[in-house]
Amino acid sequence: MSVKLQTKRIKAKKDLKTSSKKFYIESYGCQMNFADSEVVASIISKEGYDSTRNLNDADLILLNTCSIREKAETTVRKRLESFNKLKRSNKHLKVGVLGCMAERLKSKFLEEEKIVDLVVGPDAYKDIPNLLEEINEGRNAVNVILSKEETYGDINPVRLSSNGVTAFVSITRGCDNMCTFCVVPFTRGRERSRDPKSILEEIQNLKDSNYKEITLLGQNVDSYLWYGGGLKKDFKKASSLQKKTSIDFAKLLKLVGEAFPEIRIRFSTSNPQDMNLDVIKTMASYANICNYIHLPVQSGSNSVLKEMNRQHTRKEYLELIKQIKNLIPNCGISHDMITGFPNETDEDHNQTLSLMKEVKYDFGYMFKYSERPGTFAAKKFEDNVDEEVKKVRLQEIIDLQQSHSKFRTKQYIGKTVEVLIEKESKKSNSHWAGRNEQNTVVVFPKKSHKIGDFVNVKINDCTSATLIGESID
Ligand code: SAH
Ligand code: F3S
């Protein structure tokens, strides 16, 4: 075949691929899922699919799902149900589920939800091109194999519905912690870290596209450890050279902080047992690393922490908070808290309230315990805190948090904070919205600035969740 003809054929194939197919993707749950959807979008785009925000245009609908609480799963099932009508009117429409529910339920998903054609777990996204071929030939397809190496470091994510200013960059996958309530170690597999070179490259790409803030993502960023690839748990088997040249989270932060002085750097989530002085010192010494730490604690009671298999006591956690505040006095701190864990007594609950009073978090995410099938807690403990009691306790911690949030936001009144403008305020199109480095939302009247600008804003009012001010430059 002549080169010309060959080129023509390739082009024709490409045209066919790109001619009509569209995918629609929706993400649920943690930031990692949103980041993963951008990896999936990149993989699917190479197969000739264009992304669409309109369900009715889609040939392929994908839901990137969450299993963390029962409610998250119910939401996904309801959403799937809502696609029935679409599927009846478009016989070629395919529906796929990705993420944690896919991993947890595996091929059972196909039996339980007849609408589903495709099930792909968090480590199998590179197999999507093959799986698409299967479903387009009329067969269902499943791949839920968990990996020891996969970090998607070689994939340049397609930024979906991005504000063009802030982006997630994943640095680890999986979790080895085995908190007894948590389904993540089962759905996302063992912990592994991504090559720092590919992390720096991704940030460089973002910088070249004018992004101004990145968030390094992992279930437990503080336990990041690069020694050439492979599972964290196998580090002990690494060679002495690998050990000597390994890069931990503090080193990675330093690398990123130094390489991109004009980019704001955030990270999430920190785990109290792995966060160390090196990380805090690194934060303190780089102005572009935001003074904000999301530091889930889950409970203020030692006995509950023990049953949760958290590797820290209340005292150790408070000690860590003290170290943070000593080195970074203006550090914003937020938490995750679970209420109504099995056997949680009133006294345990009071311990949670008292820990919150000691820390006075800037904000927090609070949840009722939800038993997850297959976890240690589901197997060994009875979900025995009455639903009503869970509800009352949850409301108490939410109310307390709200008063602390208000206490924290009030401290900003009269002060000037630097804000990165991310979007128009939801409540008023004459106001910008962004965040200060402590991750608190700031709104202020628009002047001549634009999205992506850093502006100094003098705070003159607040609610418990928002600072209200005026730009001074
Ligand atoms: N390290 C992770 C934690 C993931 S889960 C991260 O990157 O954020 C997020 C939060 O959900 C947990 O911190 C915990 O507070 C909550 N959670 C996890 N399992 C839960 C369960 N079974 N019931 C209620 N809340 C849960
Ligand atoms: Fe879950 Fe604990 Fe890991 S909450 S994600 S097992 S740190």
Q: Does 3.80.30.20 match the CATH number of domain 166-410?
A: yes
Q: Residue of the nearest CA to atom 1 in ligand 2?
A: 182
- In angstroms, the CA 259 to CA 253 distance is 10
**For ligand 2, mutation pick of 33, 182, 338 (most atoms within 8 Å of CB):** 182
Q: What is the residue extent of each domain of the chain?
A: 3-143, 166-410, 416-471
Read off the pLDDT of residues 408-447 as tens digits, 9 standing for 90 and up.
999 999 999 999 999 999 999 999 999 999 999 999 999 9
For residues 209 and 126, is the Cβ–Cβ distance under 8 A?
no
Classify residue 236 by its DSSP letter. Answer: G
Q: Does 2.40.128.120 match the CATH number of domain 3-143?
A: no
- In angstroms, the CA 418 to CA 415 distance is 10
Q: Residue of the nearest CA to atom 2 in ligand 2?
A: 179
- In angstroms, the CA 195 to CA 191 distance is 14
Ligand 2 pocket member 177 (CB < 6 A): yes
Distance 455 CA to ligand 1 centre (A): 34
Distance 386 CA to ligand 1 centre (A): 20
Supply 302's token pair: 């030692």
Ligand 1 pocket member 174 (CB < 6 A): no
Q: Residue of the nearest CA to atom 7 in ligand 2?
A: 177
| Identical fold, 3-143 and 416-471 | no
Ligand 1 pocket member 265 (CB < 6 A): no
Ligand nearest to the CA of 177: 2
pLDDT value at residue 473 = 82
Amino acid at residue number 269: T
Classify residue 69 by its DSSP letter. Answer: S
Ligand 1 pocket member 338 (CB < 6 A): yes
- In angstroms, the CA 371 to CA 59 distance is 36
Beta strands in 340-374 (DSSP E): 363-368
Read off the pLDDT of residues 50-100 as tens digits, 9 standing for 90 and up.
999 999 999 999 999 999 999 999 999 999 999 999 999 998 999 999 999
Q: Residue of the nearest CA to atom 4 in ligand 1?
A: 219
Ligand 2 pocket member 184 (CB < 6 A): yes
**For ligand 1, mutation pick of 68, 74, 224 (most atoms within 8 Å of CB):** 68
Distance 185 CA to ligand 2 centre (A): 7
Question: Which atom of ligand 2 lies at the shortest distance from residue 188's CA?
Answer: 5
> DSSP assignment of 190-203, as one string?
S-EE--HHHHHHHH
In three-state secondary structure terms, 332 is: strand
- In angstroms, the CA 118 to CA 128 distance is 9
End-to-end alpha carbon distance in the chain: 65
| CB contact set of 337 (below 8 Å; sequence gap of 6+) | 296, 297, 298, 299, 352, 356, 364, 365, 366, 367, 397
Distance 68 CA to ligand 1 centre (A): 6
- In angstroms, the CA 437 to CA 166 distance is 13
Phi, psi of 145 (to 5 degrees): -75, 130
Read off the pLDDT of residues 375-414 as tens digits, 9 standing for 90 and up.
999 999 999 999 999 999 999 999 999 999 999 999 999 9
In three-state secondary structure terms, 353 is: helix
| CB contact set of 410 (below 8 Å; sequence gap of 6+) | 462
> Would you place residue 19 in the very low, low, confident or very high pLDDT band (cuts 50, 70, 90)?
low
Global confidence as pTM? 0.93
Mean pLDDT of 289-313: 98
**For ligand 1, mutation pick of 172, 176, 215, 338 (most atoms within 8 Å of CB):** 338
For residues 235 and 246, is the Cβ–Cβ distance under 8 A?
yes
Supply 154's token pair: 């070689």
What fold, for 416-471? OB fold (Dihydrolipoamide Acetyltransferase, E2P) (2.40.50)
| CB contact set of 128 (below 8 Å; sequence gap of 6+) | 40, 43, 44, 47, 120
Residue 11: pLDDT over 60: no
